[in-house]
Amino acid sequence: VLPIGLTLSRYAGSIPKELKTVGYGTAMDRKNHFGVEFKRGYLAQECATSAGLEFRPAHSYNYLAVPAYWQTVDCILASALYETAPIPQLEAAASGRLVLTSAVGNTAELAALGIAELLPSNINDFRTAAVERLLWYKDNPNAFTDRCERGREAMKRFDWPEVLPQWQEFFKSTSP
């Protein structure tokens, strides 16, 4: 209905020159009401390790510390089985980080906007595709940096000065 807004200036910083460290911006594991593990942080860790990259999960940072966390990693590998609001992916892109995410929820919209690259959600296909993409970007630093820059540029549409008028219009239209 309405886009999420971020204060992009909070995520300013340098764009990494090469892929060395993979981040994970949410809880490493969480089960739904049926006992199904849906965050699958272990999967992101496996893929980073298989690609010969350091894995550095955020765990439970206070939201005030999150922008600084993104400066300590070069990309985010989001491996969830389902997703509601992909806030970590948006924050990572705003920080100029490569965003690789499972194709769940509204992550297809992020890919269409140039913010993220989609990976299959099936566990085996995710594993194969994620390691391939990580290795490719690891071996192609110019393409990696270019992709990070394009993702950050695409995030400008989510900056509060761009988003706020849509929220204001929505609330005006709902008032009696």
pLDDT of the residue at 63: 72
pLDDT of the residue at 1: 75
3-state secondary structure at position 117:
strand
Instruction: List strands edge to edge, sheet with 21-24.
Output: 54-57, 21-24, 75-78, 98-102, 117-119
How many degrees, rounded to 5, is the angle at CA 147 between CA 74 and CA 16? 30
pLDDT of the residue at 27: 81
- Rounded to 10 degrees, the C-alpha dihedral 120/118/131/139 comes to 160
pLDDT of the residue at 65: 82
Instruction: Write out pLDDT tens, residues 141-163.
Output: 999 999 999 999 999 999 999 99
Q: Which residues of 164-173 are buried (b: 16+ CB within 10 A; e: fewer)?
A: eeeeeeeeee
Radius of gyration of the chain (CA): 16
pLDDT of the residue at 152: 97
DSSP state of 55: E
pLDDT of the residue at 82: 84
C-alpha torsion sign, points 3, 30, 76, 100: negative
Instruction: Tell me which residues of the chain have a pLDDT lower than 70.
Output: 61-62
d(CA 76, CA 128): 16
